[in-house]
Amino acid sequence: MTSSCSPEKVSAGPGASAVSKDAGLAALRRHIAVLEQRSPGPANPVDLPRPWRIGVAALDGALPADRGPEPASAGLALGGVHEAAGASPADRPAALAFLAALLARLGRHGPVAVCQGPGSIARLGRLYGPGWRDLGADPADLVIVETRHERDALWAMEESLRSGAAVAVLGETEQLAFVASRRLALAARESGTPLLLLRGDGLAPASAALSRWRVAAWPGSASPFDEAAPGLPRWRLELTRCRGGRPVTCIVEWNRETGHFDMATALADRPAASRTAVRRPALERAAG
């Protein structure tokens, strides 16, 4: 609180040297850091953000380290919005499955509010409890909110976040303006409840999410019991933006029995390099 730096001091006139400019910038950064940390945390100390680890070293390493009691541990912050979108519209179920797997890894039992608008249900079907169970998550935890308008779904997400009744909120939205995403991010931070947001409009528009994932289905291995049958689901995860972290891409396999992500060992013969090259600008923007 003490390092409040007035902007006048920074812009010290036209004759300011490069050194003082750097110092001014550093002071401003400190000031912003103070402002950002001043946000009220969750009321209950038990709920203090404990890092929510993905369990794959390559991914966890790219996530921001927790500034809490264990500075070494890194993971997804609980009080924030984490967005996922399919790399293409057909990959949207994969993105949903990835979020469901993240929920299964949350390690906290309690109600999970699922808020959906009408668009995705009409196009991609309803959530199916048995399939949810087969992915390793408990469908009995789900409190499903189906709304008649997309904007009601956003309202329901915000309401669920603010109430603090749910251990996590899973939202699905067709379109999200930056202001709305900022509202959701604030609500998530104030309550310390994570919001996992599945976006139907891709990751192109700006957003206030802490991390943004682009998920694509990836050819999987065969089932160990049957050569011809599909085995464990495999996804290509691309962390395109992460506050305090760095972008990373990797291919993981979700094992519902153990509740772990594993790095996929054998990669299929797909030109992964060309896909990343296309998205280079996005990566640079996120990094900078």
Partner 1 sequence: MVLAAVNRQAEAGGLVPGMRLADARALLPRLATAGSRPEEDERGLERLALWCHRFTPSSAVDGADGLLLDITGCTHLFGGEVAMTVEVEARLAGLGFEARAGLADTPAAAWALARFGDEGRRIAEPCQTLAVLALLPVEALRLAPEDSRLLRRLGLATVGAVESLPRAALARRFGRHSGAVLHRLDCALGCRTDPVASLLPPPACRARLAFPEPLIDLAALESALARLLDNLSASLERRGLGVRDLVLLFFRVDGGTARRRVSTARATRDGAHLGSLFAGKIETVDPGFGIDVVVLHAVRTEPLASEQYRLAADGLEGRGGSGELVRLIDRLQARLGKESVFRLEPVASHLPERAERRMDPDGKGAIRPAQPGMPQRPLRLFDRPEPVDAVAEVPDGPPALFTWRRVRRRIVRAEGPERIEPEWWAGGPEARPRDYYRVEDRDGRRYWLFRAGLYRDAGGKGSPRWYIHGLYG
Q: What residues make contact with partner 1 under the rule CB under 8 A?
A: 44, 47, 90-91, 93-94, 96-98, 100-101, 108, 110-111, 113, 124-135, 138-148, 152, 155-156, 159-160, 163-167, 193, 216-220, 222-223, 226, 228-230, 233-235, 268
Of the CA atoms within 13 Å of residue 181, those in its CB half-sphere come to 23
Measured from the CB atom, is 185 or 251 closer to partner 1?
A: 251
Q: Are the C-beta atoms of 84 and 98 separated by less than 8 Å?
A: yes
Of 20 and 221, the one with the shorter C-beta distance to partner 1 is: 221
Q: How far is the CB of 124 from partner 1 (least distance, A)?
A: 5
Residue 20: count of CB within 10 angstroms of its CB: 14
CB of 285 to partner 1, least distance (A): 27
- Nearer Cβ to partner 1, position 236 or 286? 236
Nearer to partner 1, 68 or 230 (CB): 230
Cα torsion angle, 128, 130, 133, 135, sign: negative
To the nearest whole angstrom, how small is the minimum distance from the Cβ of residue 216 to partner 1?
A: 8
Q: Are 198 and 184 in contact (CB under 8 A)?
A: no
When the beta carbons of 268 and 287 are compared against partner 1, the nearer one is 268
Residue type, 88: S
> With respect to partner 1, which residue has the nearer C-beta, 67 or 133?
133
* Minimum distance from residue 165 beta carbon to partner 1 (Å): 3
Cα gap 4→160, rounded to integer Å: 35
Smallest separation, CB 46 to partner 1 (Å): 9
- Least CB distance from residue 217 to partner 1, whole Å? 4
Instruction: Provide the CA 175 distance to its chain's centre, in angstroms.
Output: 17
In 42-91, alpha helices (H)? 57-62
- Cβ-count burial of 103 within 10 angstroms (0-12 exposed, 13-18 middle, 19+ buried)? buried
Q: Which of 220, 160, 245 is nearest to 196 (CA)?
A: 160
Which pair of structure tokens corresponds to residue 235? 């996804």
Neighbours of 119 (CB within 10 A): 16
Shortest distance, CB of residue 96 to partner 1, whole angstroms?
Answer: 6
Q: What does the alpha-carbon distance between residue 274 and residue 170 come to, in Å, rounded to a whole number?
A: 32
Closer Cβ to partner 1, 127 or 286, answer by number: 127
